[in-house]
Amino acid sequence: MASYNSVGRGRGSSVGAFFGGIARTITYFIFGTLLVIALITATTATHVWSFARADDRQQADIIFVLGAAQYNGKPSKWLAARLDHAAELYKEGVAPKIVTVGYKKDGDKFTEAEAGKNYLVSDYGVPESDVIALGTGVDTISSAEALHSEAQSRGWSTAVVVTDPGHSLRATTMVQDQGLDAWGSPTRSGPSVSSRAAQVSSILHETLGLMYYKTAQREDITFPEIAVS
């Protein structure tokens, strides 16, 4: 009887050890996976933040202004800040053309692109012929795709991307992925930089957005070079 009990305890110990080993393996796997995700997220956030602080004003074929809301033809504060910065770059001679982009919602009279062009012409005196309005693009990727089509037809190959600081890396990456050489020159004014809370919120949002984009594209998470100013 004692021998039988010893065998039973031995078998029970073996089974317990087996399942205990599986549990430890699963725990290590989950911990390792979470650690990798945390490291990737932290690395991506660091690059988003660093790129937001960079300002690369190399000579280019165009200045590409990402769209934002407009109200009956009047740019929102977000869009106006981008357009103000684009006008500054244009006046400096960074590029001979400005490209505005963005669609219009149902019921709107103007596209974001049209509102942007009208603002540049009326408020800054940029010649109409130097502003190309692409009235499409519901998000960053479709805006980059619209630019790609226009660039092919016009022979453009380089672009300075103008948007909010936190958005700069993701937007520039998407333009580069459309085959253009691109670098970022983000705004330094407007609601996106009005407070530390707004900046942190933007960095977190864009970090997740960039990671999702790269995952959806099944690409390694690599980043454009950051200009040293």
The per-residue pLDDT of the chain, averaged, comes to 88
Question: Where exactly are the structural domains of the chain?
Answer: 53-216
Residue 209: which pLDDT band, with cuts at 50, 70 and 90? very high
Each residue's pLDDT tens digit, 114-173: 999 999 999 999 999 999 999 999 999 999 999 999 999 999 999 999 999 999 999 999
Q: Structure pTM?
A: 0.82
Architecture of the domain spanning 53-216: 3-Layer(aba) Sandwich (3.40)
Q: How does DSSP assign 136-178, residue by residue?
A: --SSHHHHHHHHHHHHHHHT--EEEEES-TTTHHHHHHHHHHT
Each residue's pLDDT tens digit, 41-56: 888 899 999 999 999 9
